[in-house]
Every structure is written in C-alpha cells, then in structure tokens.
Amino acid sequence: MKAIPQTVFFNQTAYRLIPSRYPPTSLFDDVANQDEFEILYAIQELTNPRIRNEVGSLNRVPVEERPYGIRGCNYALGPFVHLNPAGSRFSSGDFGVYYAAEDVQTAIAETRYHQQCYFSGVEGLKYDRLSMRCLKTQFSASLRDIRGDIYKDNDWYVKDDYSASQQLGAIVKSNNDSGIVYYSVRIENKICYAIFSPIFIKDVIQTTHYEYIWDGEKITVTLETTEIDS
C-alpha cells in the first residue's frame, strides 16, 4: 500500500443517493453514546418487534467507530450495518462502504447505472419508478488516492467487473486505511469517495428527493420532487 499515495480531506462535502424506501432509523440520532443507545434500544425492543431489522448488524461496527452525536448518524451507519450481499466496487460484500461523489450529478450517474442493471434483469418489466433521497455529507479522512495517471488504465477502473477493485478494497481494509478516492467510471474526471468506516463521517443531511423512471430499456428521466433541507 506504500505505493499508493494518501490524500487528506477535511470537512469534505460529498453527495450520496439511496432509495427512499429505506426509512431512516432515528434511534441512532437520539443518543450521544453507546450507553444511551443500549438503554433506548432496550426500551424500543419492548414495543417494536422490527427494531432488530431496523438497526441491522450493528456488531459489525466497533463501538469506537460509531459516530453517535453527529447529525445523520443513522445515515452514516446505514451501509455498514445493512450490507449489500452482492458486493460493490471495493467490497465483495463482507464489509460495508459509504460511497459518495463530489456532486449530485455524479451521484445520480453512479446510482442510475446500478439501478438500470437491476431493472434490466427483471423479465418483462416495462415501467417502474424509484424514489431516491440525496444525502449531503461531510467527512474528514486520509484516503488512498488512485486518481493519478499511472492508475487510469488499471483494472480497478473496469466499468462492469469489480474483481480487481474488490481485491484492492480488501487490501485497503486489512491495512486499516480510511478508504479510497477515485474517478467515477460513469462521468469522466468526476471524483468519488469510498469511505470504509462511519467514524470519518461528520455530518449527513437529507436534501432532495429524485425519481428514477424506468421505460423498459433505461432510466430516461430523473425528477427532483421534494426539497427537504440544504
């Protein structure tokens, strides 16, 4: 890993889109530390049988890496307690990654591609729509930087085969590094971030809702539907 430089980001703004069908778990935002969480969780468990599913696999995140007290703690923890078993660019599915982009347009391009892949795999699906919520994020971390010219032709950047990039992610994770900064493969020269622990996330607010509309071949329209905050 010494061959890959690190770049320090301080209070860096980034944008992430997630499906609106995943409701935020406010339990994480209602506590300031682990002791408060355990007390509130015990109370919630008495009346909410779904609380375990809502909280997810919290044991995957060490206590010292849980960013209690920040705004949007639930969003920061989300991808680390609800893992994608299919994996992602830098993870085979055995650990979570908080993906975000330097601007909303890039975040849309990244998520639209993956959603199109999903829709196209559903036989006979001629129309569908999906509401997405945008999360404005601030993070501070030192990330392995693969934006240099020497990396541009590396297999880490293959658009639809993540085997090489997942190997890189596994090395970065095992090295206890914070994550990776890289170029988007959907929009040229745009920057994306892969953050490997929620502790590096300092603030998350929901901003805008978008609708992805599937016409049977591609997502043709992305509509802004609701302004929540800024």
Q: What are 165-197's pLDDT values in tens digits?
A: 999 999 999 999 999 999 999 999 999 999 999
Q: Which residues contact 26 (CB under 8 A, 6 or more apart)?
A: 74
Which position has the higher pLDDT, 201 or 221? 201
Residue 90 CB burial class (10 angstroms; 0-12, 13-18, ≥19): buried
Q: Domain of 97?
A: 6-227
> Does residue 131 lie in a domain region?
yes
Chain-centroid distance, C-alpha 77: 9
List 17's β-bridge partners, or say none.
134
> Does residue 154 lie in a domain region?
yes
> Does residue 148 surpass a pLDDT of 80?
yes
Q: What are 152-167's pLDDT values in tens digits?
A: 999 999 999 999 999 9
Which of 212, 208, 13, 184 is CA-nearest to residue 127?
212
pLDDT band at 230 (very low <50, low <70, confident <90, very high): very low
pLDDT band at 222 (very low <50, low <70, confident <90, very high): confident
* Contact status, residue 207 vs residue 230, Cβ threshold 8 Å: yes
Q: What is the pLDDT of residue 45?
A: 67
Tokens of 47: 């009346």
Residue 164 CB burial class (10 angstroms; 0-12, 13-18, ≥19): middle
> Does residue 19 lie in a domain region?
yes
Output the pTM of the full model: 0.89
> Does residue 42 lie in a domain region?
yes
Q: What are 11-46's pLDDT values in tens digits?
A: 999 999 999 876 666 677 777 788 887 777 677 766
* Contact status, residue 89 vs residue 83, Cβ threshold 8 Å: no
> Does residue 1 lie in a domain region?
no
* Contact status, residue 127 vs residue 217, Cβ threshold 8 Å: no
Q: What are 66-123's pLDDT values in tens digits?
A: 999 999 999 999 999 999 888 999 999 999 999 999 999 999 999 999 999 889 989 8
Which of 208, 217, 177 is CA-nearest to residue 4?
177
Q: What is the pLDDT of residue 36?
A: 81
Q: How far apart are CA 56 and CA 70, in angstroms?
A: 19
Domain count for the chain, please give it. Answer: 1
Q: What is the pLDDT of residue 5?
A: 97
pLDDT band at 221 (very low <50, low <70, confident <90, very high): low
Query: Which phi and psi (to 5°) does residue 45 adopt?
Result: -65, -25
